[in-house]
Amino acid sequence: MSTDQPTNQPTNQPGNEARGSEPAWLLVTRREVVSRITDKSFLFGTAFMVVLIAGFIGFNAWQEERTDQVTLAATPDSVAMATAVADGAPEVDEDVEVTVVEVDDREAAEAALLDDEADAWLHPGDDGWQLTSESSEQGSLTGVVEAVVSQQVLADNAADVGTTVEALQAGSTVSTDFLRGDAEKAGVAHAVGFVFVFLFYFAALVFGMQLASSVIEEKQSRIVEIIAAAIPLRHLLAGKVLGNTALAMIQLLVYLAVGLVGLSFTSYSSYVPALSGPTAWFIAFFFAGFVALACLWAVAGSLASRTEDLQATSTPLTMLMLVMFFGGLSLDGRGQVIASFVPPVSAVVMPKRILAGGVEWWEPLLALGLLAAFAAVTVWVGERLYRRALLQTGGRVSLRQAWSAAE
């Protein structure tokens, strides 16, 4: 007589709890966290990302402080202009230092370029002045030369007609202004907003795929049937979602801490206190949004019977995440305001609005409340689909089949 246990036996009865003093969901959560946090690939990936963030910030800080030293060759007919360029370079760009090298003629200038004795050669052209380099444009030097030569030639032409440069340029200045903040602050807010969107997308995709894969692995190996005989499936789902959420939050806090500390060593250190508030809001929105998506990833895994089925069952979720990613990056104006209240897109859009400023105090609270409500509904719906699809084998399960299946 066969001793196999039926696979469709009730597993979520109220009395079917794990033995011991701890609730079953906490045991599953601990297992998820411990198994991942001791995994070398997880630790290596986290350490690599930390090094990448620190290296990127360090490289940019070094780039800001380094001086670009360039050598400008000048023939006798351009020595005066080249000297003016060298003298005026600090006023145009304080990070560019120009050294003039005098050469006898054109052949000597070209030889200096080919032998790397000079970075560029300034000489008169058919209509103005020409800057010649060997094979690549000297970006910083070009900008300095264009500004100084334009100013010098304008001064000479003004003197020829008996006026001044100031008189010729009177009323031609164009300045920029912002209703809120300034240009530099807006640039920092835009960059940090991109980081927020990327971190959410990266965490939701990586941890979501791993969560779905673990569900499929347990289902395919039929280990889940043994687990279901010991604890309710809703506890298994809760433990998996909370465990992966805890791991994602740990990684997020590490990345944000490294980023803020690194930023304090750059020229943007004065913005670190102002970024603390938006960062705290982002953590709250990240938590609510990630819980909802993690539950959906678990459902995607439960609908599949093989690893090959995951691409089909997770396609709607992947498309949703792409909408969140590109929406978070590209939306602005009224569209951004509306999206900041629409879950789950609000998880990335509202923190960007908070960074930009001008958000009323009640708006983040309302958006977070709506996102939390969406997460609660998602967890309720996902828990029903997960329980009814997890023990079904023999092929991919549709959402309709999972929803209407018997308990």
Question: C-alpha 370: how far from its chain's center?
Answer: 24
* pLDDT of the residue at 20: 54
The full 3-state SS of 106-138, as one line of letters, equals HHHHHHHHHCCCCCEEEEEECCEEEEECCCCCC
* pLDDT of the residue at 183: 67
What are 373-407's pLDDT values in tens digits? Answer: 999 999 999 999 998 888 887 778 888 887 876 66
Would the pLDDT of 52 be above 80?
yes
List the domain boundaries for the chain.
24-58+181-404, 67-163
pTM of the model: 0.75
Q: Where are the alpha helices (DSSP H) in 264-357?
A: 272-303, 310-330, 333-339, 346-356
Tell me which fold the domain 67-163 belongs to: D-Maltodextrin-Binding Protein; domain 2 (3.40.190)
CA dihedral 254, 255, 256, 261 (to 10 degrees): 90
Beta bridge partners of 101: 73
397 within 8 A of 305, measured Cβ to Cβ: yes
Host H or E run for residue 97: strand 96-102
* Residue 147 vs residue 33, higher pLDDT: 33
- What is the number of alpha carbons within 13 Å of residue 232 lying toward its C-beta? 16
What are 83-104's pLDDT values in tens digits? Answer: 888 888 788 777 788 888 888 8
Q: At what angle do helices 233-263 and 183-220 cross, to 10 degrees?
A: 150
Q: At what angle do helices 24-37 and 233-263 cross, to 10 degrees?
A: 40
- What is the number of alpha carbons within 13 Å of residue 177 lying toward its C-beta? 3
Return the residue matching tokens 């299946």.
405
Mean of pLDDT over the chain:
84
Would the pLDDT of 247 be above 80?
yes
